[in-house]
Structure 1
Amino acid sequence: MSTPMQKHEVKAQRAAVVDTSHSPFAGLRPLSVAAVRINDAFWKPRLETNRTVTIPFQYQQCEATGRLDNFRRASGHYDGPFQGRFYNDSDVYKWLEAASWSLASQPDPHLESQVEDVITIIGAAQEENGYLDTYFTFERVPERWTNLRVLHELYCAGHLIQAAVAHHRATGSTSFLKIAVRLADHIVDTFGPDGIAGACGHPEVEMALVELARDTGDQRYVQEAQFFIDQRGQHLPLMSGSTYDQDHAPIREQREVVGHAVRALYLYSGVTDIYAETGEQALEEAVEALWQNFMTRKVYITGGAGARYEGEAFGENYELPNERAYTETCAAIASVMWNWRLLLLKKEARFADALETTLYNGVLSGVSLNGQEYFYQNPLADSGHHRRQPWFSTACCPPNVARLFASLPGYLYSTSNEGLWVHLYIANTAEVPLVNGQTITVQQRTNYPWEGEVELEVQTDRPAFFSLFLRIPAWAQGASITINGQVYSGSIEPGSYVEIQREWKAGDSVHLSLPLEVRMLESNQHVRNNYRRVAILRGPLVYCVEQVDNPGVDLDAIVLPAQSEWEVVARPELLGGIQTIQARALLHASKNAVDESPLYRPYKVEKPTYTSVLLTAIPYYIWANREAGAMQVWLPVDPYV
């Protein structure tokens, strides 16, 4: 008789976040979320907080803010007005996706019962023809599908579909999937060459439909996703024609990332999914050009995306302000999603590098250490006023963080016909199915990102011949590898995967050493906000200086010598255990003093007077978890002192 845990493992064995197992143009197949057990000191506490604090807290918020009552109202079980924003349904769906991925990793009868209750509430709100959106019930029925540009109907549908696929893969239950299929079929019947022409102002449904096709085998959903991307740039009555929602040009002609950052990155993710299924070269060329523009002109050093508050949008090339950076948490998550899809297609380390940078900096900063407060925006400088909040009227970011963290085990590895690919260095135990049908166990031991030593041990009941691909981050100059204690003599190139092909036996181990040197990086000269400034990094982590660690120092008066000598200091008692970086810096005496002089005055040359101070920097992701105070990522540098 099977145990509950064994049943859980059987149900969840296909629980891949993006299932490219049968995608003809994808190079990699991801592992199931359930196949990877994270047990390291950095991520395990965060994932446990996500499971035990964040997900329950967000359920309470969905209940308290009327999001669940909107579904009860739509089914006739609640007497009252619609509550909140017209896109509030999507927050419930993202919460369900987070809860489902959590169940894939950790059985939880209470959470599973709660999930089924919410699914029942949602199902009761669905109409006979499959339509489901609680905003467009009763008095708003005549408005359905009439304002695609603004009102997010397809966006909400996309999040429902993604959550239903996650629930099916995590639990084996089809209760939610059946609802999603009925809704998707309604969309297919409604939109198309013989139906409504147009697409949602907020892309999202495209990647959801492709994932539903992967889950059900119904290729109509891929065709519908392609129909939606083909509508952009066609000057249709229901569309905007603007860069804000990427409707300014046909997707195959777009070469610059523009408009609302989350919308853009969700669209590019969907286009990448479609390419994985169709192999259309024009889509691949567009996606590659857009990625190059993003990574070389418009991404923040933290992986953050979106420079402008106006339109939550990308700015011009090299427009990357710091204190006014918008860098929405959802945009960073969207970047992770896009880079993951590109990695599965192309098997290139540049995408995993970008994913890792964004995960450890642009995403992780979006949630507090206690798991109950969130940033909507993630600036790279602050005067002490920007603080995380428990919830928002537009609450897209909190459940987005929760679903990414809950699904994180599915991002560590993937497989190909050649063998196993290691993308992220996080201590874990993984069950890996090889192409020959054999399953091996891989145990990864590391204290990354604080230390650069990584050990992978293979356990197998019989010898297995395959390649192990290890990612060497682009910053890891001087990385080294040993296999069973013997030095690996092959080429080790930063920014690539090292392939180790051999017959593996039980107990074989590989040791990877990644030098974690402190690095000072400067911007391209066209980023005018960072002129003569540097950022401090170590491994994948971007560092910042925060007022609380540097009392009495005006952070705007700090100047770093070009040859700063940095010391890494372990602080196990601070903020859950971190490593700070310290160096002697120069404090501009006149800037640090109270200045009562006139606002404008005659110019005169004055040689600056400096005093030496000890400067302490902390990882950017952890800032604003203590008392309010100023923060800076980019610090002035003087090459002549």
Structure 2
Amino acid sequence: MEFLPLDRVRLLESPFARAVETDLQYALALDPDRLLSPFRREAGLPARAPGYGNWEDSGLDGHIAGHQLSALSFLWAATGDAEARRRLDAMIADLAECQLANGGGYVGGIPGGQALFEALATDDDAAVANLGSSEHWVPWYNLHKTFQGLIDAHAVTGAQEPLRIVAALADWWLRIADRIDDATFERMLDTEFGGMNDAFALLATLTGRAEYAAQAERFSHRAVLDPLLRGEDALTGLHANTQIPKAVGYASTAQATGDDSYLRAADTFWHLVVEHRTVAIGGNSVREHFHDARDFTPMIDDREGPEFCNTYNMLKLTRTLAEHALRPELLDYAERAIFNHVLASQHPQHGGFVYFTSMRPRHYRVYSQAQLGFWCCVGTGLEAQARSAAEWVFGIEDGSPAVNLYLPAETDAALPGVRLRVQADLPRSGDVVVSVDPTTARRFSLRLRVPAWAGALIDLQVNGRTVQASDAAGAVVIERDWHPGDRVTFGLPIEVRAERLPDGSPWQAFLAGPSVLAARSGEAHLDGLRADDSRMGHIAHGPLLPFVDLPILSPGEVPAGLEPFADIHDSRYTVYWPTADGDVATRRAELRDLDDGLALDAATVDAVALGEQQPESDHAFAGTGSEVLTIGDRRWRTTTERMSVRMQTSGARILRVRYLTRSQSTAVLVHVADVLVAEERFAGGEGEVLDIDYELGGQGPTTAEVRFTAVAGLPSPAVGTLRMLR
């Protein structure tokens, strides 16, 4: 399918149009000089304003500026707002100045970034290790945002300056990459690199330069690509949004190179994630990682549910696959994600963005503030609200205009001389009107999508008369002579339907039309509802409510108080409900067992899961001689030297450490605030999980370093979750 340019589609009054306007106001509240301060610092130029804090001064300096380039491009296209375009052009001019001052083509906000990357030209393992060390926060991921922002600025606006800047940046990297052998390059890709394969594939398509396509292939990370080519699901335990952009890049690399094996890998990835790892709202992952697809207990249990970045990038992948070959399930997924996860992840009044959307019953989500929160999901949120709905509504398939989503919008670009307008209010009403208004009478085919949840378009008419339509995959096609002012009308069924979790476990969500339904569950203890600038402010840290007193639904039962999930804000909510086919007492006992962790959660001052990227970053992880082990969907860290994190300790009296014994003997010293609290030695014994508590004594500092040091020439045991307990 060919999708229409964003500037040729206009959303009409609806929650989707309001989301674009809210997004515009949020984007314009950000100071370009503050966003670009890291770039000027790295170029040796005087800052025009101090940089922002939060993630913007913690190693990801400058990542939001890249997102902002994309967002302003999309917002200008979607609204025609002159100030969005003025700011975009000003930011591009500033980046050009920084690139010139750097010399050689580099431009970025990463602390010491140019030297960090150029050290890789030595083809030295130490330089690769340094790039992925705890001293740096995913430099390639950060630089990718600059690449992508410049590519989007050119692709959307047609301006040549952003293409010149990004091509010079790409050429700077090619000169380094030419001196790195393939094995070293592949080791470099073990550290998150965003969608760099996608960026080089897009540049190859834009410029026709074969060396960019070749670089896209080098960035394709065989460790993830090869299992996909074999049709294997090797995703369990992996950081989800590290992998999804790679799959986006596989799809675009196929377009750039003509090698369909990349497309097969991307398609396999899409099926694995959408069909086996995605919940009702269109999101995936728990605590940012892919859990075991056979067990969705973590999805229901954890406060850190689907991450918004994942869904935004899955929509990118879905679009690229649909551009290659349209399949009904691609549009079904896009609709699900846009009507639910995307629309729900921006506050409709103040515009704050959501990081984690918990699927735990009766939990809640928190929102960013424009001057305080600079998480990854703020960046993708800025982009997604500007583009997601409008770019999917219309398309062209087999030369015919197509209507893909039923939400208020209009275009004159699907067919020259024909204006299409959609009027709908799903899920409040199933009535849909598609106005077809050619300048003069003419014959053509109109494709109308039939959503999988609908099954058919009810009472399909043109100008009040029943019309015959031919069937197509996931659609019907009306071929006729069209006249100015023609109106197509039909109905879609909006009956409430139930949907279980993908693993088939007895938890059920409810939908009406394209929309997930939820019930409000009170407004008590919404701690951190509007997040501050703390490193972990994006997590809804308020108390978890018990499972045991949830209503247990019988077959066919629908809970009271349901409304579209995307309408619920500033409140606790329930999306998934426990069900029982008959034995309610047994099901109640299962819920009671799930509550075993509540007391532990309430007693926890702070917790960090070692081996998980974001918790480690939030807790200032540092380590040498350390590696991550992935066992099932759990991650652990070991060290042959030392590793440490900084934890909140106010009121804490116990440090609880979860260890995993290994096949060989292990030993470790445990220090808290430089005080030795334990020396542990474990004989070889693969796979035993041990939770060991260490008394901390009286009141101490509000934060402390927790350090693990290998001793006696032995490696440390694997260390999992650390908890400071009251």
Task: Note whether the superposition's TM-score is higher than 0.5.
Answer: yes
Q: Which residue of 2 aligns with 1:106?
A: 79
Q: For the Cα contact (< 8 Å) 2:227–2:234, is it kept in 1?
A: no
2:26 to 42, 54, 58: 54
The aligned amino acid for 2:401 is L
- State the 1:333 CA deviation: 0.8
Alpha-carbon distance in structure 1 between the residues aligned to 2:556 and 2:218: 56
2:419 to 430, 437, 441: 441
- State the 1:378 CA deviation: 0.9
1:178 to 150, 164, 174: 164
Q: 1:119-169, CA deviations, whole angstroms, 9 ceiling, x for partnerless residues?
A: 222222223221222325489557654345565443334322322232224
Q: How does 1:192-341 map to 2 (within 5 A)?
A: 192=178, 197-198=185-186, 200=189, 201-229=192-220, 231-233=221-223, 246=224, 249=226, 252-253=229-230, 255-256=232-233, 258=235, 259-307=238-286, 309=287, 312-320=288-296, 321-324=299-302, 325-341=304-320
2:480 to 486, 502, 512: 502
State yes or no: 1:519 paired with 2:494.
Answer: no
Compared CA separation, residues 184 and 502, structure 1 to 2 (3 A): farther
Q: 1:477-521, CA deviations, whole angstroms, 9 ceiling, x for partnerless residues?
A: 34322233332444668x712222334332233223211111122
- State the 1:385 CA deviation: 6.2
2:436 to 449, 458, 461: 458
- State the 1:549 CA deviation: 9.0
2:174 to 188, 193, 197: 188
| Length-normalised TM-score, structure 1 | 0.76
Alpha-carbon distance in structure 1 between the residues aligned to 2:408 and 2:58: 41
- State the 1:347 CA deviation: 1.0
State yes or no: 1:432 paired with 2:413.
Answer: yes
Compared CA separation, residues 86 and 513, structure 1 to 2 (3 A): same
Alpha-carbon distance in structure 1 between the residues aligned to 2:157 and 2:114: 37
State yes or no: 1:534 paired with 2:514.
Answer: no
1:356 to 311, 335, 347: 335
The aligned amino acid for 1:557 is L
Gaps of 5+ in 1: 1-27, 234-245, 567-582, 584-614
Q: For the Cα contact (< 8 Å) 1:40–1:426, is it kept in 2?
A: no
Q: Which residue of 1 aligns with 2:615?
A: none
Q: For the Cα contact (< 8 Å) 1:130–1:182, is it kept in 2?
A: yes
Alpha-carbon distance in structure 1 between the residues aligned to 2:306 and 2:439: 48
Alpha-carbon distance in structure 1 between the residues aligned to 2:321 and 2:113: 42
Alpha-carbon distance in structure 2 between the residues aligned to 1:124 and 1:390: 30
Alpha-carbon distance in structure 1 between the residues aligned to 2:294 and 2:387: 32
Compared CA separation, residues 86 and 173, structure 1 to 2 (3 A): same
Q: For the Cα contact (< 8 Å) 1:37–1:430, is it kept in 2?
A: yes
SS at match of 2:300: coil
Q: Which residue of 1 aligns with 2:383?
A: 403
- State the 1:364 CA deviation: 2.4
Alpha-carbon distance in structure 1 between the residues aligned to 2:554 and 2:35: 53
Alpha-carbon distance in structure 2 between the residues aligned to 1:71 and 1:194: 26
The aligned amino acid for 1:55 is A
SS at match of 1:559: coil
Task: Judging by fraction of residues, say which structure has more strand.
Answer: 2
Q: Which structure has the higher relative contact order (CA within 8 Å, separation 6+)?
A: 1
Q: Which residue of 2 aligns with 1:633?
A: 575
Compared CA separation, residues 136 and 554, structure 1 to 2 (3 A): closer
Compared CA separation, residues 217 and 267, structure 1 to 2 (3 A): same
Compared CA separation, residues 440 and 222, structure 1 to 2 (3 A): farther
Compared CA separation, residues 116 and 400, structure 1 to 2 (3 A): same
Q: Which residue of 2 aligns with 1:75?
A: 43
2:446 to 465, 468, 471: 468
SS at match of 1:326: coil
SS at match of 1:271: helix
Q: Which has the larger radius of gyration?
A: 2
The aligned amino acid for 1:449 is P
Q: Which residue of 1 aligns with 2:552?
A: 559
2:106 to 124, 127, 131: 131
- State the 1:55 CA deviation: 0.9
Q: For the Cα contact (< 8 Å) 1:167–1:173, is it kept in 2?
A: yes
Q: Which residue of 1 aligns with 2:624?
A: none
Q: Which residue of 2 aligns with 1:620?
A: 565
Q: Which residue of 2 aligns with 1:601?
A: none
Compared CA separation, residues 281 and 170, structure 1 to 2 (3 A): closer
Q: For the Cα contact (< 8 Å) 1:433–1:439, is it kept in 2?
A: no
Alpha-carbon distance in structure 2 between the residues aligned to 1:279 and 1:116: 34
- State the 1:211 CA deviation: 2.4
SS at match of 1:182: helix
Q: Which residue of 2 aligns with 1:419?
A: 400
Q: For the Cα contact (< 8 Å) 2:251–2:263, is it kept in 1?
A: yes
The aligned amino acid for 2:217 is Q
CA RMSD of aligned residues (A): 3.1
Q: Which residue of 2 aligns with 1:595?
A: none
Alpha-carbon distance in structure 1 between the residues aligned to 2:139 and 2:493: 48
Alpha-carbon distance in structure 2 between the residues aligned to 1:563 and 1:482: 33
Q: 1:190-219, CA deviations, whole angstroms, 9 ceiling, x for partnerless residues?
A: 325876734543331222222233333434
1:378 to 357, 366, 371: 357
- State the 1:251 CA deviation: 5.2
Is the deviation greater in 501-510 or in 89-98? 501-510
SS at match of 1:37: strand
Q: Identity, % of aligned pairs? A: 20
- State the 1:178 CA deviation: 1.5
Compared CA separation, residues 430 and 138, structure 1 to 2 (3 A): closer
- State the 1:373 CA deviation: 2.1
Alpha-carbon distance in structure 1 between the residues aligned to 2:281 and 2:62: 30
Q: Which residue of 2 aligns with 1:479?
A: 457
Is the deviation greater in 204-213 or in 353-362? 204-213
SS at match of 1:374: coil
- State the 1:473 CA deviation: 0.9
Q: For the Cα contact (< 8 Å) 2:245–2:313, is it kept in 1?
A: yes
Count of residues in Structure 1 that have an aligned counterpart in Structure 2: 532
- State the 1:317 CA deviation: 1.7
Alpha-carbon distance in structure 1 between the residues aligned to 2:179 and 2:447: 45
Q: For the Cα contact (< 8 Å) 1:102–1:407, is it kept in 2?
A: yes
Alpha-carbon distance in structure 2 between the residues aligned to 1:38 and 1:407: 10
Alpha-carbon distance in structure 2 between the residues aligned to 1:374 and 1:432: 31
Gaps of 5+ in 2: 121-126, 525-544, 585-726
Compared CA separation, residues 534 and 491, structure 1 to 2 (3 A): farther
Alpha-carbon distance in structure 2 between the residues aligned to 1:115 and 1:489: 48
Q: 1:517-564, CA deviations, whole angstroms, 9 ceiling, x for partnerless residues?
A: 11122235x45xx42x321111111112222399xx988331334333
Q: Which residue of 2 aligns with 1:8?
A: none
Compared CA separation, residues 387 and 182, structure 1 to 2 (3 A): same
Alpha-carbon distance in structure 2 between the residues aligned to 1:389 and 1:505: 49
The aligned amino acid for 2:222 is R
Is the deviation greater in 139-148 or in 200-209? 139-148
SS at match of 1:159: helix
Q: For the Cα contact (< 8 Å) 1:165–1:215, is it kept in 2?
A: no
Compared CA separation, residues 143 and 85, structure 1 to 2 (3 A): farther
Alpha-carbon distance in structure 2 between the residues aligned to 1:213 and 1:136: 29
SS at match of 1:322: helix
Compared CA separation, residues 192 and 450, structure 1 to 2 (3 A): farther
Q: For the Cα contact (< 8 Å) 2:432–2:490, is it kept in 1?
A: yes
Q: 1:77-121, CA deviations, whole angstroms, 9 ceiling, x for partnerless residues?
A: 337999623333221111111011111122333333322222222
Q: For the Cα contact (< 8 Å) 2:446–2:477, is it kept in 1?
A: yes
